[in-house]
Structure 1
Amino acid sequence: MAMVKKSITVTDQQEQWMQAQLATGNYASDSELLRDLIRKEQTRAAEIEAIRIKLIEAEQSGFVEKSPSEMLASFREEARNNGKL
């Protein structure tokens, strides 16, 4: 995988938060932390899109007997099975 070098500017508060994350030992560098945050956001965005599509489908299909939490669990499971998460 090719890497592209970026230069970013963060606020003092964001820098303090990043340094606190690095201090936990979970990340070796700022770059590793930011890549992890991007991956998590990509996953979250994919999950939201899958849920949005399912909600549209549900609205178009009429009433269901499942509770909202059961529907959400079902949507997430289907998205994982389809490789969208």
Structure 2
Amino acid sequence: MATMNVSLPDPMKVWVEAQTKDGRYSNASDYVRDLIRRDQERRATATLELKALLEKAEASGVGTRPKEALIDAARAEARQNGLLRGE
């Protein structure tokens, strides 16, 4: 197994050490490896979900709404989901 040194600000170092003291992780390396595995899984899942959405969109065929209507609908949905503030 390779070794990697990582510099952390003091509050993050304290946090990592606290995660090992409660017994869930045997040491800081275990904790960091778990974080990396979770990130890898999250990214893989997100990629699969995006591919599925793209395949679904492609299978739905050519749309009939004008570009402006699509943009307006996307903006409204983004606002509703808190992703976009009023323009």
Scaled by the length of structure 1, what TM-score is found? 0.66
Q: How does 1:1-85 map to 2 (within 5 A)?
A: 3-62=1-60
Bigger radius of gyration among the two = 2
RMSD, aligned CA:
1.4
Gaps of 5+ in 1: 64-85
- Aligned-residue offset at 1:13: 1.9
Number of equivalences: 61
Runs ≥4 residues deviating over 4 A: none
Scaled by the length of structure 2, what TM-score is found? 0.64
Gaps of 5+ in 2: 62-87
Q: Which has the higher contact order (CA 8 A, sep 6+)?
A: 1
- Seq. identity, %: 30
